[in-house]
Amino acid sequence: MFAISCSKPDPAKYQSVSEQVMVIIPRGATYYQALDSLEAHGLITSRDWFSLYARLRGLPSNLKSGVYAFPRDAGWSEVVSTLKTGRGLEVRFTVTEGMMGFEVAERARSWLGVPRDSFKVAMRDTSLERELGIKPSPAGVDGYMYPTTYVVPMRMRARDLVKVMTHEFISRWQPEWDARLGELHMTRHEIVTLASIIEAEVRYRPDRPYVSAVYHNRLKRGMALQADPTIIYAYGRRLHRVWERQLQIKSPYNTYLNPGLPPGPITQPSDSSIIAALYPAPIGYLYFVAQPDGKHIFSASYADHLAAIRRVRNRR
């Protein structure tokens, strides 16, 4: 029903779509309504003869709804075969690293016409949660919608879209990572949750293992993670800046008020963030502060951390 592309899609394929005839067969449309649409777009000129041909090919009982792009000179055989098999228009759908669930839902609405509410319901599909080995939660499979470019049909069902993304996550998980989970005494859900915070926190990729080390060290000591991205997730919208008053929001995702990891992931983490969560740098840092260029200053003591903050403020 759909295909996944992890390489660059062929631009020519998508440029040619604008040169084709686009026909929409709405869900629940009758055979005669489909004929009306084909005739209106100039794909058939002899309606009665085409209808006879289509009936002999079994189209009326096998008509599939969808968005279709036909060549202007498409033959009857191609038109009938396409409408019977449901090979509708395919488009690229990209989930980028660090996107939060509500952002993926909005992109599915704007790019594919998937209703936002339907997508959020699909994210909480308990069968998908069982496949991933996670407990049912309001966030559902947020964090497990693998970030890559997919090639999918227009207006596909929300559940199908979420399913293909979570199955891609499962297929990308490396067997050796399971062995590492045992060494860390952590579950996959905990590692994905930690990786999602690292993904949101780090702009300068080489810093990821060091940020991971800070979080691992804090977890071992029972300290609060104090990760600003979890505050943003708790608010359910992108904040330009996290202010001190916003750190008091009552939410299980508030890692300033609640020690340990939040209930689940807050973004869709990349493989490099998952690897950083699994293999933190062997250092004893407990603090970090971001510089204007995205790089971090790491500190082992609170006094050094305060000094680092002053240096960053002076640079700004």
End-to-end CA distance of the chain: 52
Confidence category of residue 156, pLDDT binned at 50, 70, 90: confident
Q: What is the pLDDT of residue 13?
A: 36
pLDDT given for residue 19 in this prediction = 54
Q: Residue 187's Cα: distance from chain center in Å?
A: 21
- At residue 157, does pLDDT exceed 60? yes
Crossing angle of the two packed helices 228-235 and 188-201, in degrees rounded to 10: 100
Calpha distance 184→264 (Å, rounded): 18
Q: Give CA–CA dist 135/144, Å, rounded.
A: 13
Tell me what pLDDT residue 1 has: 36
> Is the pLDDT at 315 greater than 90, yes or no?
no
d(C-alpha 293, C-alpha 203), whole Å: 9
Farthest-apart Cα atoms in the chain, separation: 85
The residue assigned the tokens 């779509």 is 17
Burial category of 226 from C-beta neighbours within 10 Å (exposed 0-12, middle 13-18, buried 19 and up): middle
**What is the pTM assigned to this prediction?**
0.76
Helical ranges in the chain per DSSP H:
11-15, 31-40, 47-56, 59-62, 76-85, 101-112, 116-123, 126-132, 158-172, 175-184, 188-201, 208-221, 228-235, 271-278, 302-315
Mean pLDDT of 22-35: 86
Q: Which run of H or of E encompasses 24?
A: strand 21-25
Query: Average pLDDT, stretch 151-161?
Result: 82
CA distance 169 to 165: 6
Q: Give 167: exposed, middle or buried? Use CB within 10 Å, 0-12, 13-18, 19+.
A: middle
Domain chopping of the chain, boundaries: 3-88, 91-172, 176-315
- Average pLDDT for the chain: 89
Rounded to a whole number of angstroms, the CA Rg of the chain reads: 25
Query: Tens of pLDDT along 205-232?
Result: 999 999 999 999 999 999 999 999 999 9
3-state secondary structure at position 182: helix
What are the tokens at 309?
């903050």
In CATH terms, 3-88 corresponds, of 3.40.30.10, 1.10.240.10, 1.10.10.10, 3.30.1490.480, to 3.30.1490.480
* Per-residue pLDDT tens digits for 239-296: 878 888 889 999 999 999 999 999 999 999 999 999 999 999 999 999 999 999 999 9
